[in-house]
Amino acid sequence: MTELRVAILSSSTLEVIERPLAAALRDRGFDPSFWIAGFGQFRQEILNPQSGLYAHDPSVVLLYLDGEDLFRDLLHNPFASLADQRRATGRQVAEDVASLAETIASRLPKATVVLNTASLAPLGPLTGLEYNSEFGVNDAVEEYNHAIAEFARRHSGAVVLDAAGLAATLGFSRWRDARMWYLARLRLSRDALAALAAGYAGLILARVGKIKKCIAVDLDNTLWGGIVGEDGFDGIKLGEDGIGLAFAEFQEELLNLYRKGVLLAVCSKNNPDDALQVIRKHPGMRLREEHFAALRINWEDKATNLQALAEELNIGLDSFVFIDDNPVERSWVRQSIPDVIVPEWPKDPVDYKAALLEIGVRYFPKLGITAEDRKRGEVYQAQAARRQLASSGTTLEDFYRALEMRVRIGRADAFTIPRIAQLTQKTNQFNLTTRRYTEAEIRVARDDEHTEIFWLELNDKFGPSGVVGVLILKENVSGEWNIDTFLLSCRVMGRTVENAFLAAIAQETGASRLIGEYLPTPKNAPVKDLYERLGFQHSHDVDGRRVWSLDDARKLEVPPWFEITIERSTAASGTSER
C-alpha cells in the first residue's frame, strides 16, 4: 500500500470522518495516517507555522468548510443585504479561503489542498422570496463556488470537491443531522460522511494518478438487451425507445468515459461475426469498433480473455474493471483474477447507467483532460467547439470544411423506422410540411413501390449527431417526385446538411423533376425560403401551401465539404453496399 499523510481541518466537527475515509482510502490502495484539527480551529492552525498541521507534513490537506458556517451572518439575517452586496460577500469569503489555501501551499508546497463547494439548506425563511424578490442567499453561495473553482484552476496545488453535488445527490434532508449538530456540532449525517469520504478518496486517487485504466464489458444483456446468437440482429433490444434506450444510454456513458481517456475493451463469449455485425452496423449502437482498444469475442472463459487483453494493451490486470450481467461470470473472474475489479451489477437495465456513473466516480475520477485524452474525442464539448469555430473569423466555407462532416444516408428499415416516426412527430423548426406519422404509417409507406423514405445520420470532427434527417418522396402519376416530408433536427441547422441530403437523394434515385411544398406553421419560419435557396421555382399556392418545382434535380450538387456514404441494403440481415 502507498503511505498517505492526511490533514483534516473543518469549520465544524469532522473527527468522525476518519474511520470511513480510512476505509475508503485503504480500499483504493493507500495506507493513511491522519492529523485532525480541533473544532473550528482551521484558521489558527493554518496561520501558525508551528502548528500541528505543518508538523504532520501531510501530502493532502482537506479543508472542509460548510456553507452554513461560511455564510453564518447572512443566514442570521437574510433580509439585511441586497443582491450586489451578497455577491460581493460571496467573492470576499472566497478570497479569504483562497488566501488560507495559498498559505498552506506556501508552507507545504508538495501538498494538495482540497477545498469544497458549499450549499445551504433548501428550506429557510426566504422560501418563495429567494428567486422572486431582491432578497436571497444562494447568489452569494453561487458566487463563492464559482470563485473557488476559478482559484483551483489557476493553482495547481488546489483542487475542489463538489460537496454541494454530493449533498444534492443524497438529498439535503439526508445530508444533515440536526440532532448531531446540537449534541456535537457535527453537521453531517452518517450517510453524508460516507459520501464525503468516498468523494475525497476518489479525488485523492485522481490526484496521484492511481486510477483504473480500462473497462472491459460483456455484450449480450450488458451492452445490448438479448442474446444476438439467439434473438438475431433484428431482435436485440437497443435503440431510441423502451428498454432499448436504457442500453443505449448506458453505452453513452461508456462513451463519455472513453472521451475522458478510459480504455474500452470487449470480453464476451459470443460468435464474433454476430457480435461484430451489431457493433459495426446496428443503428442503435453508440459505441463502434473504433471506440474499443481491444476485443476478445470468442468461446474462451472470460478470465483467460481478460489476461489476453492485459497483454495486448500492455497494462496490468489491476488496471481493469470488468462489467458483466451474469453473476456466474462475475464470480469466476473474481476467483480467477483477484486483481480485476468486478463490481456487482444491477439486474434491471434501467439501473445500468447509474451504476456506471458510480463506477466512474469510484475508479475513473479525473481532474483534467490531457491532449492525449482529447485525441480520443471530446464530444461533450462538441457544441461549444462548433460555436467557437463558427465565431473564429473564418469564412463559412472554411467553417464547413473544418467540421469534417460525414453524412450517412439509407432507406427506412426496421431499425430506423421508430426514429423516423419520432422525428416526424417532434421536429418543428426545420420541417417543410410538419406531417406527423406513426411507426405503422411509416412501415406502410415504406412498402409502397411509389414511395421512398430516407434517413440521414451526421457525424463530424466533434462526434456523432445520430439520425437527424428524414426525406420522404412520393411518385405521382406523371412520374415526378413530390417531397412529402423534408426535415432535419434543429441541432444541425445552419450547416448546409439540407443541400447535401437533397442532392445525394436526387443522384441516388435519378429523379429529374422534384416538387416541394412549404406549409407555414408557427415554428417553421426558418425554412420558408429553403426551396428558393435550393434553386426551385415557385409554382403556385394551394390550400395555404406554397408549391415549388425543380425541373432537373440531377443538377443539384453535394457541397464539397461533405463526405457522403449511401447505405444500400442487400439483405434482411442488414448488410449493405457503399
The domain spanning residue 119 has which CATH number? Answer: 3.40.50.1110
Any idea what the CATH number is for the domain that residue 426 is in?
3.40.630.30
- Same domain membership, residue 261 and residue 219: yes
Query: What's residue 378's pLDDT?
Result: 37
Query: What's residue 351's pLDDT?
Result: 96
- Same domain membership, residue 169 and residue 50: yes
Query: What's residue 385's pLDDT?
Result: 53
Query: What's residue 372's pLDDT?
Result: 39
* Mean pLDDT score of the chain: 87
What residue numbers bound the domain in which 530 lies? 396-577
- Same domain membership, residue 220 and residue 204: no
- Same domain membership, residue 39 and residue 106: yes
Query: What's residue 392's pLDDT?
Result: 65
- Same domain membership, residue 225 and residue 162: no
pTM over 0.85: no
Query: What's residue 123's pLDDT?
Result: 76
Query: What's residue 246's pLDDT?
Result: 96
Mean pLDDT calculated for residue range 192-221: 89
Of the candidates 153, 181, 208, which is a domain's last residue? 208
- Same domain membership, residue 405 and residue 260: no
Question: Does the residue 455 lie in any domain?
Answer: yes
Those residues whose C-beta lies under 8 Å from the C-beta of residue 507, and which sit 6 or more positions away, are 554, 556, 558
d(CA 410, CA 3): 58
- Same domain membership, residue 141 and residue 23: yes
Instruction: For residue 507, give the amino acid letter.
Output: Q
Question: Does the residue 388 lie in any domain?
Answer: no
Q: Classify residue 279 by its DSSP letter.
A: H
For residues 79-90, one letter each, b for 16 or more C-beta atoms within 10 angstroms of the residue's C-beta and e for the rest, the string is eebeeeebbebb
Question: Does the residue 382 lie in any domain?
Answer: no
- How many distinct structural domains can be found in the chain? 3
Question: Does the residue 204 lie in any domain?
Answer: yes
- Same domain membership, residue 298 and residue 412: no
Query: What's residue 388's pLDDT?
Result: 61
Q: How many CB atoms lie within 10 A of CB 72?
A: 11
Question: Does the residue 515 lie in any domain?
Answer: yes
Mean pLDDT calculated for residue range 221-245: 93
- Residue 516: is its pLDDT beyond 70? yes
- Same domain membership, residue 128 and residue 29: yes
- Same domain membership, residue 193 and residue 218: no
Cross-strand partners of 35: 7
More confident residue, 275 or 157: 275
Q: What percent of the chain has pLDDT over 90?
A: 57
- Same domain membership, residue 232 and residue 182: no
Query: What's residue 154's pLDDT?
Result: 86
Of the candidates 188, 208, 228, which is a domain's last residue? 208
Cross-strand partners of 314: none
Cell numbers placing 542: 394551394
- Same domain membership, residue 223 and residue 203: no
Cell numbers placing 157: 496545488
Instruction: Give the pairing type, strands 30-36 and 60-64.
Output: unpaired
Query: What's residue 377's pLDDT?
Result: 32
- Are 484 and 435 contacting, i.e. CB atoms less than 8 angstroms apart? yes
Of the candidates 179, 208, 237, which is a domain's last residue? 208
Mean pLDDT calculated for residue range 408-423: 87
Query: What's residue 355's pLDDT?
Result: 96
Any idea what the CATH number is for the domain that residue 312 is in?
3.40.50.1000
Question: Does the residue 238 lie in any domain?
Answer: yes
3-state secondary structure of 31: strand
Residue 60 vs residues 7, 210, 514: alpha-carbon distances, Å: 6, 15, 69
Q: How confident is the model at residue 209 (pLDDT cuts 50, 70, 90)?
A: low
Q: What percent of the chain has pLDDT over 70?
A: 93
Query: What's residue 270's pLDDT?
Result: 93
d(CA 549, CA 482): 9
Query: What's residue 128's pLDDT?
Result: 75
Question: Does the residue 31 lie in any domain?
Answer: yes
- Residue 296: is its pLDDT beyond 60? yes
Question: Does the residue 384 lie in any domain?
Answer: no
